[in-house]
Amino acid sequence: MNVRHHTRTSGTLHHLLLWIGLVVALAACSPAQQQRAKSDMNDAFIAAQVHARLAGIDAATVSLVTIDVVHGVVTMTGQVHSQHEREQADAAARAVPGVTRVVNRLTVNPKAPTADQIEADVQMQARVRGALAAQTGMNALHVQTDVHQGVVTLQGTYPSAPMHEVILQTVRGVPGVRKVVDHLHAAPPSSATGA
């Protein structure tokens, strides 16, 4: 209970400071600029509230949905896991104070990842990066990894053919990796010697 009170107080203080900053900034603006700035600020605040409400439905929803707010009109694009989740997202956006209309362009994709799947992908990506760093000393800037349900996609460059093989074997050896998609290519000779 103390945590909730503290959060509410911090949020109120944050909003108060934000509005004070806005008032000070607006004092130097023309009336039209002031109105546009207030509208932009309100839209940003609405977007943040919609994001927070969507996170309450399913944390994955926030990463799969894009929220745009213009003059109180909320447009949601992206994908959700079910029709029920689409309806929940719509209702959540409509419940935010200041929303004048909701344009729901969310599509239902039963294969869309859940919060648990996204978390598992993030954890596996960390394991893959850790294994690469430990085995090859490769800088993350040279090899980028993307993980989706046990499929690891590699992009970037490798300095030599033997190192390329080490990278592939290292990633395949990480527990949980089902498949490796190799989009790596050899670094130009000048880059390999300069690295």
Q: Write out pLDDT tens, residues 119-129.
A: 888 889 999 98
65 SS3 class: strand
Amino acid type, 167:
I
For 94-113, the pLDDT digits (tens) are 999 999 999 999 999 888 77
pLDDT confidence of residue 89: 92
Q: How many CB atoms lie within 10 A of CB 76?
A: 23
Q: Kindly list the domain boundaries of the chain, sorted by start residue.
A: 2-108, 115-194
Class of domain 115-194: alpha beta
pLDDT confidence of residue 8: 37
Do the beta carbons of residue 69 and residue 50 sit within 8 Å?
yes
* pTM as predicted: 0.49
Do the beta carbons of residue 184 and residue 156 sit within 8 Å?
yes
Q: What is the spatial order of strands in the sheet that 151-158 belongs to? A: 143-148, 151-158, 179-186
Amino acid type, 159:
P
Per-residue tokens: 155: 């992009």
Do the beta carbons of residue 158 and residue 127 sit within 8 Å?
no
pLDDT confidence of residue 24: 60
pLDDT confidence of residue 41: 82
pLDDT confidence of residue 7: 34
The residues of the chain scoring below 50 in pLDDT are 1-11, 191-195
Burial bucket for residue 7 (CB in 10 Å: 0-12, 13-18, 19+): exposed
Do the beta carbons of residue 154 and residue 101 sit within 8 Å?
no
Among residues 35, 44, 45, the alpha carbon closest in space to that of 11 is found at: 45
- The DSSP secondary structure of 91-156, one letter per residue, reads HHHHTSTT--EEEEEEEE-TTSPPHHHHHHHHHHHHHHHHHHHHHH---TTTEEEEEETTEEEEEE
pLDDT confidence of residue 171: 93
Do the beta carbons of residue 80 and residue 61 sit within 8 Å?
yes
11 SS3 class: helix
pLDDT confidence of residue 2: 36
Q: Does domain 2-108 correspond to CATH entry 3.40.50.10470?
A: no
Residue 152 CA to residue 129 CA, distance in Å, equals: 11
